Amino acid sequence: MNCISTTDHQCFPDPLHRAEAPIAHPISMSVVGREYQLRCLNSFLSPDPSLAVQTLLLQGAAGTGKTHTLKAWLDEHPEVPTAILRSTALVTWKPLLQAVARGVQAGLRKSNQSSSSSLPAPLDPLQVEDLAGLISQLTTLFTTYDCPQTFLLVLDDLDQLQDLDATILPMFLRLHELLPAGCPMRTVHIVRDAQFVGRYAPFQLPVVVFPRYTEEELLPALTGALATSTSDNTIDASFLKLLIQAFYSYTGSDIAALRDLALLKWPQYSKEVAGMDSGAPTAELYRRTRHLFVSPDDSLASESSNTTSSTNYELSDISKWLLIAAYFCSYSEARYDPSLFAHRQDMKHGRSPYGRRKAREINPTHLQPNTFQVERLLAIYQAIAPADGSSTGASASTSGSLRALLNEPLRHANVEVFQNIAELYQLKVLSTNNVNTGGNLDFLSPKIKWKVNVGWEIVLEVANSVQFDLRAYFSEVGG
């Protein structure tokens, strides 16, 4: 469905149903901090098509009030028929063209509803297969329907179109040249990326830039956003002030994030201060509710989960040991493998792998993983994984004799191990140097190099779950 989404993430249906949308907060309240931009809109747009520019660009980061301000201008000029399209919902250019045809037709039919003559039969927008089809349909629409005012076509978040290419905007810039002379359609493109606008600088289009809100502008803007998104208008201004002071550095000027935090914390806050005097000083309110403003608490994880407890990630024991072994392969150097993993004591003598005189400047686990051969993975796996199936990573016999070595039950590479490697590959926990194999990967090919695809924190949790002390091998890693 084509819809307009404001900074409130509230979906407005297409212009057929625009009349049912609630009237926004008074324009003077809802566009606080955007008075200059509204003034520019009044200069560049007009219900009279001869007074409106052909194309207007509105540029600004997400949550800066572009769509909101344009809506405020449209509310001030209800006589202007409009088609507002959300590009993120349209993915590629063909649905975009079809949506343009659909939106324009809907807007024109709406604006002509009161005319005495009956409306002509609607055209099928799905017949728009390409630009020529769109031009043909738009030509038919604007010659069939009466539209003395400006018809405003708004493409919201055009640069967020998933399959965007460099020819789409120029196409809309030149579209009017192939439409009938005097066609009243004008376009407004709402764009986030300044570099996208800069790419089309030679076209010398009028641009209105929406900067991020300052900290002072956030309170009235947030109040307006909450008022339009919720029916409950009783959120206290002092709460919002505390919220902004506490979390402005975390959220920046993102109105949507602040609004979400306000809606998350307001029920708890109102409960805490319920018994307090309404005229209590802000400091007292803060002291009572300080725990709410320490952390955002907006994680998707449940509050009861213990972050220090190990999680299984639904992996089998073999997979967990393979993952740990893969981490060693990617982050420790092969020349230290005998020292680290050899069961024979005499091979462990000698210089410690990290007994270097000079400490590393960069922790290697913070860098991208190195690739390794599958044989090395299997060798380290055999060295660290317990053979008796227990979850403990207890080392094997320490007698050091050859007989003991022969008697020692080792985990041999068998079909289960390879099944688990395949599982880890499917889960993208392990990856190869060739990403585009089309599913036909020969695991044993010497050309294939592997690497681990998870970070230190996850591997540490997995190691803790099998009681393997991973930190002992990576002494430089804190935390």
Question: In the window 343-372, what residues touch other proteins (CB under 8 A)?
Answer: 362-363, 365-369
Provide the minimum distance between the beta carbon of 464 and other proteins in the complex, in angstroms, as a whole number: 18
Interaction with other proteins in 132-171: which residues (CB under 8 A)?
132, 135-136, 149, 163-167, 170-171
443 binds other proteins (CB under 8 A): no
Per-position DSSP letters for 211-237, written without gaps between them: PPPPHHHHHHHHHHHHHHH-S-----H
- Cα–Cα distance for residue pair 227/144, rounded to 1 Å: 41
Burial state string for 255-279 with b = 16 or more CB within 10 A and e = fewer than 16: bbbbbebbeebbeebeeebeeeeee
Tell me the CA distances in angstroms from 243 to 222, 248, 253, 264, one per residue in order.
11, 8, 13, 11
311 binds other proteins (CB under 8 A): no
Both tokens of 459, joined, read 């591997």
Judged by CB under 8 A, which of 197, 325, 378, 385 binds other proteins? Answer: 197
Judged by CB under 8 A, which of 202, 267, 275, 389 binds other proteins? Answer: 202
199 binds other proteins (CB under 8 A): yes
Interaction with other proteins in 15-54: which residues (CB under 8 A)?
18-20, 22-23, 25-29, 36, 39-40, 42-44, 46-53
The sign of the torsion formed by the CA atoms of 102, 106, 107, 108 equals: positive
Both tokens of 222, joined, read 């947030």
Provide the minimum distance between the beta carbon of 296 and other proteins in the complex, in angstroms, as a whole number: 6
326 binds other proteins (CB under 8 A): no
463 binds other proteins (CB under 8 A): no
Judged by CB under 8 A, which of 11, 76, 401, 445 binds other proteins? Answer: 76
Residue 79: beta bridge partners?
A: none
Binding segment (CB under 8 A) for other proteins, from list 13-21, 119-127, 309-317, 440-448? 13-21
Closest residue by Cα to residue 171 from 198, 203, 142: 203
Binding segment (CB under 8 A) for other proteins, from list 73-81, 331-339, 351-359, 402-410? 73-81
- Cα–Cα distance for residue pair 365/476, rounded to 1 Å: 9
For 299, residues 6+ apart whose C-beta sits below 8 A from its C-beta are none
Judged by CB under 8 A, which of 131, 264, 334, 396 binds other proteins? Answer: 131
Smaller CB distance to other proteins: residue 241 or 348? 241
| Strand (E) or helix (H) holding 430 | strand 430-432
Smaller CB distance to other proteins: residue 120 or 400? 120
308 binds other proteins (CB under 8 A): no
Closest residue by Cα to residue 6 from 55, 58, 69: 69
196 binds other proteins (CB under 8 A): yes
Provide the minimum distance between the beta carbon of 147 and other proteins in the complex, in angstroms, as a whole number: 9
Smaller CB distance to other proteins: residue 131 or 379? 131
Judged by CB under 8 A, which of 335, 360, 428, 447 binds other proteins? Answer: 428
Closest residue by Cα to residue 27 from 14, 42, 16: 42
Tell me the CA distances in angstroms from 450 to 383, 424, 457, 478, one per residue in order.
19, 11, 20, 26
115 binds other proteins (CB under 8 A): yes
Interaction with other proteins in 227-286: which residues (CB under 8 A)?
227, 233-238, 241, 248-254, 257, 282
